[in-house]
Chains A and B, each alone.
Chain A
Amino acid sequence: MTPLVGAALGGLALASLIGLRGPGRLAYPLGFSGVSLAVAGGVGWAEGWGAGAFYLLLLGLAVLGLAPYLPAYLELHPSRAYAFLLPLFVGAMAGVALAPPGYAFLFLWEAMSLLGYLLVALEGAKAVEGAQALFLASRLFGLGLYLAFLGQGRLGQDAVWLGLVLGFGVKAALFPFHGWLPRAHPVAISPVSALLSGAMTKLGLLGLYQAAFWFGPPPLWVGPSLVTLGLAGAVYALVRGLAEEDFKGALAYSSVENLGLMLAALGGYFVTGHPLFRAAFFLHQLTHALFKTHLFLVAGVLGERRLSRLGGLWRQAPGLGAQALWGMAVGAGLPPGPLFLAEWALYLGFSRGGFGLPLGVGALALVGALALFYYVRLFGLAFLGQPRGPASWHLAPGMVLGLRILGGALFLLALWPGLVLGPLGVQVYPNAPLALLLFALAYLLYRRLQALPHRTYSTWDCGHQPLTPRMQPTGLGFSQPVLRLFPFVRLREGEHPHLEEPLQRLLQVIGEAYARLARLVQGLQSGSLHLYLLLQLLTLVLVLGVVLL
């Protein structure tokens, strides 16, 4: 069964890849044949409708890496349900990207949310809470989408866009509506987290971008608030994530950061209309989908995920260490990685635009420095130093292949970002020569140093007693100096930092109220045929009344 899933996902991925390169008008296997993708035409994918094609490329590449990984992974999690639900979920996401704004879109959007909920909730009782956070948030704020879709033409542009920002923003983890993401992603199995974080969240971004073509240009307040909230969310997520002990939890917070930067780029585009912002927006999306999928797949290999129990993984699994290093160096936004290219475009956009946008550079630099620290902590504590517990990891050949595909795609993207940026009309600096020169020189110098005489010896221990693994900093110990700069994460002696995400309390109250309402309605389900007939009659009268009035 499981190889079939892999094959199905891979097939979809290839179909989407081929589809993107094909001629102007395409019918996708999902039946939305009315959608025309003027990829080869003069319009290009950057304009409105065509952005769906870009999304298919992104989804296709992520799924392509996932396809060989999944069969090996699912042998450890023998649940039939994944084999059934995962392709549906991927299909729903592809559908959302291509659907025109209307009932089909809303239907697929709901299907995607429901499938996402089920995929997270499959992991048992502990996961249900996280899944509910995801579902409740998307339900509650998703109402904004209905407001926008149904109110178009009747409501003012401000109300429509408020609905859009709420509805799409919550999927894209717009601060402060991001609370569901770090609760849902760590509890799901890794391939599901990878899809949720790498692919599903992008649909919110894509929706906001396309909405500017569907519903007319956004009102003036949208752009600046997206920039402000995006940058604030990025800083907040990184600081909050530094207090996270769980490897996957840290990855989830890093997603909130990246999505914040993308939202800031989109906001900048709405404010100024400068193509640099749009280039940053799209390149960041593709890069994030690839590297976050890659890193979640790395996390799926680990048996133990608490940072303070890990250590020295690289020596135990050398291939995995090198893969993780590449993914994390990209994630830290370092040149010549593709994420840096996106950030570079964002920097340049900020430093050019008026309207106080240059101050965004400071926030962006803070995000950059925090991300550097973030990934040093994540990689250093897990993969370097002395092991702090028994090694537990499982790496099958298929998993290695999946990681290599994603890592390779990231490398190619660093060398030829023009493939993405070309149609957007933005030229970046020549990154490929820099990357190749840097890699070649590093390789030569590395080999030269290795050939020099050296000896292996234990790390200097001050001459007292031998070093023990417990002398290395813990996950929280490492981030404490930076955490104490920011007042919103409080660390107390001997306890783990606990922080309510903003709006989490609201969601909880609404969830409880909804559960109470459901228990009340349960009384109707009495088994009495008369009652059911009466209810049907009442419904009919109500519907007729609404229609006739």
Chain B
Amino acid sequence: MSALLLLFLAPLFTGSVKWLKARLTHRLGPSPLLEYQNLFKLLGKAWVRPEVGTPLFLLGPVLAFLASMAAASFLPLLPGPHFAGDGFLALYLLNLGRFFQMLAALDAGSAFGAQGSYREGLITVLAEPGTLLALVAAGLLGGEFSLARLPVLDPANALVLVLVLASLALALLAEGARMPVDDPATHLELTMVHEAQLLDHAGPLLALYELASGVKMLFYAALMALLLPGPSFWVFLGMGAAWALALGYLETYGVKLRYLRLPDFLSYNTLFGVLAVLGAVWRF
């Protein structure tokens, strides 16, 4: 259920960020709803198979999409399945999608896809430990580790949960291929990470990838929404809007980090994660 909600909202989210970025640079900008139209157009188009391609070329977008949908279905925004330890499964489902996306990028046999692939791998290695540590810290506070039973922010656990939220925010920037880590607007091959992996995918394959990455980004926003007090559905909508605003500003006024500086930036993610766990264990 939650997966369908995220799927429905994802184009609106990415569309709004694009619109906001255009407005901030004094351009008229496309309507936020244009993204839906764009997706339908892509879905109706023909696609191109590279000569050296294998079945993986198709499996990449298919599994990237299905895996992020499956991960999103464990979010308790709307009724859905949940059990102890579902957060680990959800994050590893995102990894499943990433695995096939990285492989599909290698499948075309060009330098660019491979470049995008190993850069994505580096970002995963940097971002994953902090994210999982942060979730475990939240789980330790809540007693039972399940996405449906995460604790909400109150004065007693404020410090740990703020660290968790900071860690998840950095994870969203990294996993969503957003500004200091990656630039979604660039098409200069030497700096692309996410986009470089999609270069050879066209039409419906591209549409699946776009949807998958939108859902993935909202997944992280939803994780953060779960930690805030209030009915989680409405908090999530607010959180999505807040992130659209934040990303719009960040990508207009911020710069993309040099690729070699990424470890410095993302090490904060791990640091926050470790501190959050220590805080949860020692109850400070």
Which residues of A pack against B, CB within 8 Å? 311-312, 314-315, 318, 321-322, 325, 329, 332-335, 340, 343-344, 347-348, 350-352, 354, 356, 358-359, 361-366, 368-370, 372-373, 375-377, 379-381, 383-386, 429, 434, 437-438, 441-442, 445-446, 449-450, 452-461, 467, 469, 471-473, 478-482, 485
Annotate B118-153 by CB proximity to A: 1 below 8 A, 0 otherwise.
110110111111111100110110000100000000
- Interface membership of chain B positions 53-94, coded 1 if the CB is closer than 8 angstroms to chain A and 0 otherwise: 111101101110111001000000000000111101100110
A455 touches B48 (CB 8 A): yes
Contact of B200 among A318, A358, A460 (CB under 8 A): A460
Residues from chain A with Cβ under 8 Å of B122 in the complex = 373, 481-482, 485
18 CB-based A-B contacts, threshold 8 Å: A314-B54, A314-B55, A329-B96, A340-B92, A343-B92, A344-B88, A344-B89, A350-B136, A358-B137, A358-B140, A365-B129, A368-B92, A385-B114, A437-B70, A449-B61, A454-B48, A461-B110, A479-B118
Beyond A384-B109, A481-B119, whether A459 also contacts B128 by CB under 8 A is no
User: Which of B12-20, B99-107, B219-227, B230-238 forms contacts with chain A?
Assistant: B99-107
Q: Determine whether the beta carbon of B121 is less than 8 Å from that of A344.
A: no
**Cβ of B114 and Cβ of A456 under 8 Å apart?**
no
Residues of B within 8 A of A379 (CB): 103
Q: Bound state CA distance, A438 and B26, in angstroms? A: 45
Q: Does B205 contact A (CB under 8 A)?
A: yes
Cα separation A409 to B110 with both chains bound (whole Å): 36
Q: Judge whether A429 and B99 touch: CB under 8 Å.
A: no
Chain A residues contacting B47 (CB-CB under 8 Å) are 449, 452-454
Beta-carbon nearest neighbor of A312 in chain B? B52
Asked if B213 lies at the interface with its beta carbon under 8 angstroms from chain A, I say no
Which residues on B sit within 8 Å (CB–CB) of A481? Answer: 118-119, 121-122
Closest A residue to B46 by beta carbon equals: A453
Question: Contact: B59 with A442, CB < 8 Å?
Answer: yes
Is residue B204 within 8 Å, beta carbon to beta carbon, of the partner chain? yes
A37 to chain B, nearest CB (A): 32
Given the complex of chains A and B, what is the CA–CA distance between A291 and B236 in angstroms? 41
- B interface, CB within 8 angstroms of A: 46-56, 58-59, 61-63, 65-67, 70, 83-86, 88-89, 92-93, 95-96, 98-99, 102-103, 106-111, 114-115, 117-119, 121-122, 124-133, 136-137, 139-140, 145, 199-200, 203-205, 263, 270, 273-274, 277-278, 280-281
The contact of B98 among A335, A351, A372, A452, by CB within 8 Å, is A372
Residue of A nearest to B273 (CB): A362
Residue of A nearest to B137 (CB): A358
Contact B111 A329 (CB under 8 A): no
| Contact of A457 with B50 in the complex, beta carbons under 8 Å | yes
Residues of B within 8 A of A446 (CB): 55, 58-59, 62
List 6 additional A-B contacts (Cβ < 8 Å) besides A344-B85, A478-B114: A368-B92, A370-B125, A372-B99, A373-B122, A376-B103, A457-B51
Q: Which chain B residues border A482 with CB–CB below 8 Å? A: 118, 121-122, 125
- The verdict on A373 contacting B125 (CB below 8 Å), with A379-B103, A449-B62 known, is yes
B129–A363 touching, CB < 8 Å? yes
| B103 adjacent to A384 (CB under 8 Å) | yes
Contact B128 A351 (CB under 8 A): no
Contact indicator B121/A376 (Cβ below 8 Å): yes
Residues on B with C-beta less than 8 A from A449 are 47, 58, 61-62, 204-205
Which B residues touch A333, using CB under 8 A? 92
Verify A445–B66 contact, CB threshold 8 A: yes
Max chain A CB contacts within 10 Å: which of B66, B108, B118, B277? B118
A335, B73: Cα distance in complex, Å: 15
Contact B136 A471 (CB under 8 A): no
A376 and B106 within 8 A (CB): yes
Contacts of B98 in A (CB 8 A): 372
Report the nearest B residue to A473, measured CB to CB: B114
What is the CA–CA distance of A361 and B137 in the complex, to the nearest angstrom? 10
The interface residues of chain A lying within 8 Å CB-to-CB of B136 are 350-351, 358, 361
Assuming A348-B84, A366-B129, A376-B99, is B46 touching A455 (CB within 8 A)? yes
